[in-house]
Amino acid sequence: MTRAAVNNQQFSPYTGRFAPTPSGPLHFGSIVTALASFLQARSQQGLWLVRLDDLDTLRVKHGASDNILRTLQLLSLEWDGSVLYQSNRHAAYQDALESLFNQDLLYRCDCPRKETRGQTYPGTCRNRNVPLCHQASLRMRTGNTRIGFTDHIQGEYVRNLEQDIGDFIVQRADDIYGYALTVVIDDDFQGVTEIIRGADLLASTPEQLWVHQHLGLTAPVYGHVPVATDAHGKKLSKHDAALNALLLADPAELLIQALQFLGQSTDPGLAGADTATVIQQAIKNWDLSRVPKVPTIPKMTTV
């Protein structure tokens, strides 16, 4: 995608993006993330792209993609160019896997996911040569390597890949490509320069930097905004019925709530304003340094 292909506006080299999974309607937490990403891009006269992570057919819900796009439009979060659907990108992911195979960085693993999910993988299958007749995932080798970066919101973040994460999956046993692979390939393809997303993805960033490194790609910079939780500290979910009545809420008021959650100043005079007016002022006043430097914040008001 070239800038000229988007429109005739003048853009800076900045490119941001919002990449939700269409597993249900947007909830308050995902709207916060979309808004922060949008404002960071627009405040720098940059591009803002939308990509839909629709690879996992078991999670994707019928009509959710269209619902997400309508919601963004309702909130005056207008994106540039065409929406990219990951389901159309299999060839690019396969090319990346072949490159990693040629570097002897991948191996087959038939360990049950339920036994390894949420744990540091101990390398059980690293030297096992799992037979091709067995259903298996593909894992990427790590090492006793420290991977660190400066997050624009959360600060310095460093992990030892082998000790803290272990060899991670880049293709599941059901052939679904792993997030650590696809996000790297697509961000590079779209020329993304900065990623603003939820802090629930902070811990996965070193994996992505490892993939960037071994594919010879330039990594974007990152900022992870706090995740909205309920009063008990549970992450707000698309499946939480209390949060799915978005169209019944006042969209402009919802934007104001999201701005306040992000630590931004809001003019009392915006009460009763339309979404375009709220967004216009939000771009003008956006200050990333004011976003709370914490991983989670309770969202006490039900939307």
For the stretch 226-267, pLDDT in tens is 999 987 788 876 655 444 445 557 899 999 999 999 999 999
Single-letter amino acid, residue 70: R
* The two three-digit tokens of residue 99, written as one number: 């490159």
According to the model, what pLDDT value does residue 240 have?
Answer: 52
- Locate the domains of the chain by residue range: 3-86+226-298, 90-182
**Percent of the chain, pLDDT > 70?**
91
Calculate Rg over the CA atoms of the chain: 20
* The two three-digit tokens of residue 290, written as one number: 């004011």
According to the model, what pLDDT value does residue 239 have?
Answer: 53
According to the model, what pLDDT value does residue 217 have?
Answer: 98
Residue 256 parent element (H or E): helix 251-261
Q: Domain 90-182's class?
A: alpha beta
Same fold, 3-86+226-298 and 90-182: yes
According to the model, what pLDDT value does residue 247 have?
Answer: 52
How confident is residue 113, by pLDDT bands cut at 50, 70 and 90? Answer: confident
Can you tell me the distance from the alpha carbon of 286 to that of 219, in angstroms, rounded to the nearest whole number? Answer: 24
Can you tell me the distance from the alpha carbon of 166 to that of 162, in angstroms, rounded to the nearest whole number? Answer: 4
Mean pLDDT check: name the lowest of 3-7, 19-23, 64-68.
3-7
Mean pLDDT check: name the lowest of 34-43, 84-93, 129-138, 145-154.
129-138
**Percent of the chain, pLDDT > 90?**
80
Pairing of strands 137-140, 168-171: antiparallel
Q: Which CATH superfamily is domain 3-86+226-298 in?
A: HUPs (3.40.50.620)
Across the chain, what does the average pLDDT equal?
90
| Of the candidates 108, 141, 144, the residue with the CA atom closest to the CA atom of residue 125 | 108
Answer yes or no: are the C-beta atoms of 176 and 185 closer than 8 Å: no
